[in-house]
Structure 1
Amino acid sequence: MAYNEHLAERIQRVFREKHIVVEEKKMMGGCCFLMNDKMCLGLDTDKQSGKDRLMARIGPAAEAEALKRNGCRPMDFTGRPMKGYVFVDQEGFDMEEDLEYWVQKSIDFNPFAKSSKKK
């Protein structure tokens, strides 16, 4: 799997500090953190640049404001951006407070996110 394990550990630490239980799953070519059986946050390595990036599920309402932040752009795997998801490049999460911001944004949206898990 193509992702930075040190970054995964940093993300896990933020969730632990917030007393949030997540399931870590290798998927989408990287690693995703699931909260309440729903994708909350992920990380992978951008194949074009070779740099680490976050995949944050923040919801459509938070997207416009989030896109103003350093390193943030629409999440686009296929040429069509996914509503409510953003990619965050390294400069947007290098500082701990920036990483905490993205983790918290993802936590805040999780109760409103739809689960794709079949029951």
Structure 2
Amino acid sequence: MSPTAPAPSPLPSPGVRYASYGVLLVLGALVGAAGSLVQAAWFSGGLLLALLATAGLFYGGLRATGTQVGVAAAAAGWLVAVILLSLGRPEGDGAFGGGAGELIFLFGGMALAVMCATLPRLPRPAP
């Protein structure tokens, strides 16, 4: 006897999906802003903490929505926050000082977004 696979649960309504993409966009901006500040404050430990939070957000977006759009929404919010903080102000103030840590955070976060977006999607668990 072979056990039959349970039927996947139905996808949520489009309104719920779009709302979750919006929440992931805002969370991405918050994680990007917090990571920008933390990685600059505590260089090696803060950088690792910021990249771990970024990876957790992107993977959580994939698992929560079940689509790569969840990763893309979180990554878009993250990237906008990081880019806006790296531009600085006309007075010369900026969150990034221009060192190696900032580049590792920027390129590492983008690499994490690509890695999470290309992970295979797992089937939805049965209710």
Give the structure, 1 or 2, with the largest relative contact order (CA under 8 Å, sep 6 or more): 2
Taking structure 2 as the reference length, what is the TM-score of the superposition? 0.23
- Greater strand fraction, Structure 1 or Structure 2: 1
- Greater helix fraction, Structure 1 or Structure 2: 2
Taking structure 1 as the reference length, what is the TM-score of the superposition? 0.24
